[in-house]
């Protein structure tokens, strides 16, 4: 893909990785569960939006800061040097294969037991005066739920990409914002229908597996296209 060679490609790659990150089955379902949790028992739209805002901030800051710290710590690490060289030489084919694997995981997510994550929200005690802080903490914790695919995305691709890029510590922040955008869209829809949050939550739970499969098919198709482009078009 030609955009990888462009100056802005690290930012575009970080955005794309962030979207893939949040669409992982266990990450997506965990976020939906968390949003439903911080929405329950609240009929005031302003309070719900406030909770959502702190939840989103928790996600963005945690992933961004964690990524920046890792980049600073490992930027001169010899252990990552070979991996960085490999990704720079085979970035396109690696991305294509990665998309295909992620797509297959998305398509068969309901049959792969290790992708299932049960969010223990019932263990989180809430007090109304602390709900903003607890929404922030919940957002931080949810962002740290790293399923197998997300571990590869964050530690295997994003961090080496950031280390080898002039954008450096800024890429994890771009990644964290991109991974939060779909969640913000979902929260916006739910905030507009605050009186019907329970119905929306049940509806998203019902159609969630179909949306995940559709996303999986799209990822497989994109991955196949990237591989074909790299193997055949660039060979000439």
Distance CA(146)–CA(194), nearest Å, equals: 30
Return contacts of 160-163, CB within 8 angstroms, 24+ apart. Answer: 160/80, 160/83, 160/84, 160/87, 161/10, 161/13, 161/14, 161/17, 161/87, 162/10, 162/14, 162/67, 162/71, 163/71, 163/74, 163/75, 163/77, 163/80, 163/84
Distance CA(18)–CA(20), nearest Å, equals: 5
> For position 173, what pLDDT does the model report?
92
The whole-angstrom distance between residue 124's C-alpha and the CA centroid of its chain comes to 23
Over residues 186-197, mean pLDDT: 69
Q: State the burial class of residue 189 (Cβ atoms within 10 Å of its Cβ: 0-12, 13-18, 19+).
A: exposed
Annotated domain spans of the chain:
7-233
- Where residue 27 falls among pLDDT bands split at 50, 70, 90? confident
Rounded to whole angstroms, the maximal C-alpha distance in the chain is 65
> For position 126, what pLDDT does the model report?
47
Does position 43 have pLDDT exceeding 90, yes or no?
no
Lowest mean pLDDT segment, chosen from 44-48, 105-109, 230-234: 230-234
Distance CA(151)–CA(172), nearest Å, equals: 14
- Where residue 5 falls among pLDDT bands split at 50, 70, 90? very low
> For position 1, what pLDDT does the model report?
42
Say what the pTM is.
Answer: 0.63
């Amino acid at each position: 893909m030609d955009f990888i060679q462009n100056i802005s490609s690290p930012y575009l790659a970080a955005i794309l990785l962030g979207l893939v990150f949040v669409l992982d089955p266990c990450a997506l379902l965990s976020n939906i569960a968390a949003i439903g949790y911080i929405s329950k028992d609240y009929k005031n739209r302003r309070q719900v939006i406030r909770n959502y805002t702190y939840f989103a901030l928790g996600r963005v800051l945690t992933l961004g800061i964690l990524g920046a710290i890792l980049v600073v710590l490992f930027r001169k690490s010899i252990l990552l040097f070979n991996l960085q060289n490999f990704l720079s030489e085979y970035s396109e084919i690696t991305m294509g294969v990665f998309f295909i694997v992620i797509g297959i995981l998305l398509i068969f997510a309901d049959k792969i037991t290790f992708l299932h994550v049960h969010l223990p929200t019932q263990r989180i005690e809430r007090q109304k005066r602390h709900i903003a802080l607890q929404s922030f903490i919940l957002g931080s914790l949810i962002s740290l739920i790293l399923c197998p695919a997300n571990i590869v995305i964050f530690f295997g691709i994003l961090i080496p990409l950031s280390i080898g890029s002039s954008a450096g510590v800024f890429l994890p922040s771009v990644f964290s914002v991109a991974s939060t955008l779909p969640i913000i869209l979902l929260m916006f829809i739910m905030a507009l229908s605050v009186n019907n949050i329970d119905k929306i939550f049940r509806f998203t739970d019902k159609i969630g597996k179909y949306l995940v499969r559709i996303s999986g098919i799209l990822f497989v198709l994109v991955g196949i296209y990237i591989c074909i482009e790299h193997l055949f078009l660039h060979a000439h």
